[in-house]
């Protein structure tokens, strides 16, 4: 169990790949990204959705990356192969953990987008990316428009559509300065 926990803690040091590919030095870690999503759950989750389930999704959704890495489209790994690698990693990690079967089942539910919480957290995953993109663009001048476009393409909930519009407006104001 301790080895599995220590391995999971590796997410704290695993940098998000996409930012590094764009020349961002000292990019956020996968764990920092998960924290961002969890915070967005607390801010934006509609009251009719289950907070505990959404926070669990936010925390677990990228756990497999501690073994398979933070794969991006640039890696050329087909989605089905990526999913199989991640599921195998989750099976192995969860086998050594208390409540491991529950964690794996919950991760599977998120991956399948099987409930409203999973679908909302998926949108928050992208909103977190958009906020981070705006922050990096402000701090480094690196054009992060492609990240905003990607995030915007999955937004469906009205509050999150509004948040994306506010991010776009903030970016536009930065460009005018």
Domain of residue 89, CATH code: 1.10.3210.10
CA–CA distance, 11 with 36 (Å, rounded to integer):
14
Q: How far apart are CA 90 and CA 86, in angstroms?
A: 6
Domain that holds residue 17: 2-176
Report in angstroms the alpha-carbon separations of 110 from 60, 74, 103, 167. 9, 23, 11, 26
The pTM assigned to this predicted structure is 0.93
Tens digit of each residue's pLDDT, the chain (177 residues): 999 999 999 999 999 999 988 889 999 999 999 999 999 999 999 999 999 999 999 999 999 999 998 988 888 999 999 999 999 999 999 999 999 999 999 999 999 999 999 999 999 999 999 999 999 999 999 999 999 999 999 999 999 999 999 999 999 887 766
Specify the number of domains making up the chain. Answer: 1
Structure tokens at 131: 């906020």
């Amino acid at each position: 169990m301790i080895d599995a926990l220590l391995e999971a803690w590796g997410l704290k040091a695993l940098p998000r790949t996409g930012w590094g590919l764009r020349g961002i030095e000292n990019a956020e870690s996968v764990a920092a990204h998960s924290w961002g999503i969890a915070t967005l759950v607390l801010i934006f989750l509609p009251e009719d959705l289950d907070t505990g389930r959404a926070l669990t999704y936010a925390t677990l959704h990228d756990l497999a990356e501690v073994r398979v890495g933070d794969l991006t489209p640039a890696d050329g790994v087909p989605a089905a192969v990526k999913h199989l690698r991640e599921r195998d990693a989750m099976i192995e990690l969860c086998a050594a953990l208390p409540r491991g079967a529950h964690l794996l089942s919950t991760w599977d539910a998120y991956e399948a987008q099987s409930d409203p919480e999973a679908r909302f957290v998926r949108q928050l995953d992208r909103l977190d990316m958009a906020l981070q993109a705006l922050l990096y663009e402000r701090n480094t001048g690196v054009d992060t428009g492609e990240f905003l476009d990607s995030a915007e393409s999955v937004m469906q909930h009205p509050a999150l559509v509004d948040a994306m519009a506010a991010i776009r407006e903030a970016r536009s104001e930065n460009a005018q300065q």
